[in-house]
Amino acid sequence: MSGLIIGSVCIKTAGRKAGEKVVVLELDKEKRFATVVGPKMKKKKCNLVHLFPIGKVVKVGKSVSQKELEKLLKE
């Protein structure tokens, strides 16, 4: 999963929110986790194996709101 960077847009592939678009806010490659947030999902830790990058990157900060994120993903 070396293709993931902060701001990568991904699709969650497992869990309750499977199929939802999320954006990576923080990476911990050593422990294989990422902090993600989405327009329909609060900030949460997620296993890197459960993320599928779609090749889009957006510029976000750690305190991005869900409404701001929704606008960024529509562009």
CATH number for position 55: 2.30.30.30
Q: Is residue 66 part of a domain?
A: no
* CA pair distance 2, 20, nearest whole angstrom: 21
Per-residue pLDDT of the chain (75 residues; tens, 9 = 90+): 457 899 999 999 999 999 999 999 999 878 899 999 988 888 999 999 999 999 989 888 888 888 888 888 876
Which residue intervals of the chain are DSSP H helices?
A: 66-74
> Can you give the residue range of the structural domain that contains 14?
8-61
pLDDT of residue 1: 44
pLDDT of the residue at 2: 56
pTM of the predicted model, to two decimals?
0.85
Domain assignment present for residue 46? The answer is: yes
Question: How confident is the model at residue 49, as a pLDDT?
Answer: 94
pLDDT at 69: 81
Asked if 51 and 36 count as a contact pair (C-beta separation under 8 A), the reply is yes
Strand-pairing partners, residue 47, are 33
